[in-house]
Structure 1
Amino acid sequence: MPDSLLTDSWTLQDGISMTVLQNPLRTRILVTGVGKKFYVPPHWHAAHDEIHIVIKGRAIVTQDGVRQIVGPEDGACLTRRGVIHSLEGFPGEELILEETATAPEDTEQKIFFFRNMGAPGMLRSPLGIMQVLYYGDTYPKFPTGLRWLERLVIVALGGWVAPFFGYQLPDKRLRLDPSRFPRDKKD
């Protein structure tokens, strides 16, 4: 498996790979349709907006509970910060999906986020995942729908517990966005 920290293309799981593209800077997810279905669970971001573009195939994009099927003819799909969203492909179908943020520095951080998630063994490490979510401005949606609880769990597990047990980000260029936590508060 190529190391996501050293190359611009790596395998996330069987049949799903990610590539960093330039001019403009963005990530491309290639789903071959073989192996597990592509699925990104419901989550939200406190400090950045995302743009998804389906280059080939179809994806189901769910934003705040509204599901829509998006294809190449639909153009850019904008997800504003704070909107709970998920992405999924169709079983057995090829999908090429590109992702950026609305600000170039946020896109760079998203790439560092994906590099950390793609690091060998990371997806099998719950505390490692929590640490990447913490630094990557990503909060899972819980059934309770309580944003303060979703944020607290990520801060506690990713910001405090994971480092206590010696977890460190594989790619330390992923940094905590100070706009998520005011300076007069400590996380």
Structure 2
Amino acid sequence: MGDPLRDDSWSIGKGVTMTILQNPLRTRVHATGEEPFLAPPHWHLWHEEHHIILKGRIRLTQNGVTHVLGPEDGEAVTPPGVVHSLESFPGEEVIIEETTRPSVETTAQKIIFFRNMFAPGVLQSFLSTMQVFYYGDAYPATPLGIRWFEWLMVVVIGGWVAGLLGYQIPDKRLRLDERRFPPSKKN
């Protein structure tokens, strides 16, 4: 169902779809329960995420603390730098919406991040995935939990190695966040 590079709704798993919604700009994940939805542990250097559970329940883990959230819990906020993961319950339908801060432009870039991440072949290639992480302000949480190592892994593998080997992100509208690499000041 759908092509993430062209359509506003596409499949990200068996019975799991991602849809881009407008007014306000946001993403929606709908998992029918056929297969659980999982966003593995990761963190962001510059943006925060806001999640609202519209239906069902979700496990949100932030820095090792797990909360079970439902519609009655309102908006869940994950600040920059917090390792987090999302997981639905097997056999349960769930609908989650996400926006990011500090701006609508941040959410627009996050949508382009998702378009790249779910483009054909990206998740099957470690180099492609790291390259999308590099451009999209995302860092996988490793068992060691050493943030500088996780950051460096994404920069070296996704930013340098993948490019040197000819890898290119599918949707080139995804822009590198300049706050990670401020322009040098000339004297």
* Superposed pair shares fold, TM > 0.5: yes
TM-score calculated relative to the size of structure 2: 0.95
TM-score calculated relative to the size of structure 1: 0.95
RMSD: 1.2
> Matched residues in 1 for 2:144 and 2:118: separation?
29
**Could you say which residue in structure 1 is the equivalent of 2:179?**
179
SS of equivalent residue, structure 2 residue 61: strand
> Matched residues in 2 for 1:71 and 1:119: separation?
30
> Matched residues in 1 for 2:22 and 2:134: separation?
26
- The one-letter code of the counterpart of 2:180 is R
- The one-letter code of the counterpart of 2:130 is M
**Could you say which residue in structure 1 is the equivalent of 2:170?**
170
**Could you say which residue in structure 1 is the equivalent of 2:157?**
157
> Matched residues in 2 for 1:52 and 1:86: separation?
12
> Matched residues in 2 for 1:127 and 1:13: separation?
21
Deviations along 1:11-64, one digit per CA (max 9) or x if unpaired, are 1121111000000000000101113x2111111100101101101000000111
Q: Which runs of 5+ in 1 are unaligned?
A: none
> Matched residues in 2 for 1:144 and 1:125: separation?
22
**Could you say which residue in structure 2 is the equivalent of 1:7?**
7
> Matched residues in 2 for 1:64 and 1:183: separation?
31
Q: Which runs of 5+ in 2 are unaligned?
A: none
SS of equivalent residue, structure 1 residue 99: strand
User: How far did residue 183 of structure 1 move?
Assistant: 2.3
**Could you say which residue in structure 2 is the equivalent of 1:91?**
90
**Could you say which residue in structure 2 is the equivalent of 1:114?**
114
User: How far did residue 144 of structure 1 move?
Assistant: 1.5
> Matched residues in 2 for 1:6 and 1:41: separation?
25
**Could you say which residue in structure 2 is the equivalent of 1:42?**
41
User: How far did residue 166 of structure 1 move?
Assistant: 1.1
1:71 aligns with 2:70: yes
> Matched residues in 2 for 1:145 and 1:4: separation?
31
Structure-to-structure mapping, 1:48-63, within 5 angstroms: 48-63=47-62
**Could you say which residue in structure 2 is the equivalent of 1:129?**
129
> Matched residues in 1 for 2:16 and 2:164: separation?
32
> Matched residues in 1 for 2:100 and 2:143: separation?
26
User: How far did residue 2 of structure 1 move?
Assistant: 2.1
> Matched residues in 2 for 1:67 and 1:140: separation?
18
- The one-letter code of the counterpart of 2:84 is H
For these two proteins, the number of residue pairs brought into alignment is 184
Percent identity, aligned pairs only? 59
1:29 aligns with 2:29: yes
- The runs of 4+ residues in structure 1 deviating greater than 4 Å are none
- The one-letter code of the counterpart of 2:150 is E
